[in-house]
């Protein structure tokens, strides 16, 4: 399992049926890493977060396209908004 920590810069819904797939882009030190979310709960949660505000720590494995398939996600800079909507753990 690989870990990556970076600023959430973009979220995209790739497919909704039959399985929900979301793409996120995380930036750290000028490097952009793409992550794929297959989990419906995490996918719904990620669309509640505004871009360019939250730092995420994600864990997963790389696929053939060198995208990180995310299994676990943690928000590093929790604020009042996150306390209201809850955390993804």
* CATH class of the structural domain 2-85: mainly beta
In this predicted structure, what is the pLDDT of residue 56?
A: 96
pTM: 0.88
Which helix (H) or strand (E) element contains residue 35? Answer: strand 31-37
Assign 89 a pLDDT band (cuts: 50, 70, 90).
low
pLDDT in tens, 23-61: 999 999 999 999 999 998 999 999 999 999 999 999 999
In this predicted structure, what is the pLDDT of residue 58?
A: 96
Quick check: 21 and 37 in contact, CB under 8 A? yes
Rounded CA-CA distance 35/39 in Å is 12
Over residues 18-24, the mean pLDDT reads 93
Q: What percent of the chain has pLDDT over 70?
A: 99
Over residues 77-85, the mean pLDDT reads 91
Q: What single-letter DSSP state applies at residue 84? A: H
Quick check: 75 and 87 in contact, CB under 8 A? yes
The CA-atom distances, in angstroms, between 61 and each of 30, 65, 69, 72, 82 are: 21, 11, 5, 11, 26
Quick check: 11 and 49 in contact, CB under 8 A? yes
């Amino acid at each position: 399992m690989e870990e990556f920590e970076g600023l959430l810069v973009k979220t995209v819904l790739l497919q909704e049926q039959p399985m929900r797939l979301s793409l996120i882009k995380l930036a750290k030190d000028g490097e952009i890493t793409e992550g794929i979310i297959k989990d419906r709960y995490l996918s719904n949660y990620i669309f509640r977060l505004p871009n360019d505000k939250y730092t995420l720590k994600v864990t997963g494995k790389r696929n053939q396209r060198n995208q990180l398939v995310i299994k676990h996600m943690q928000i590093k800079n929790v604020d009042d908004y996150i306390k209201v909507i809850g955390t993804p753990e």
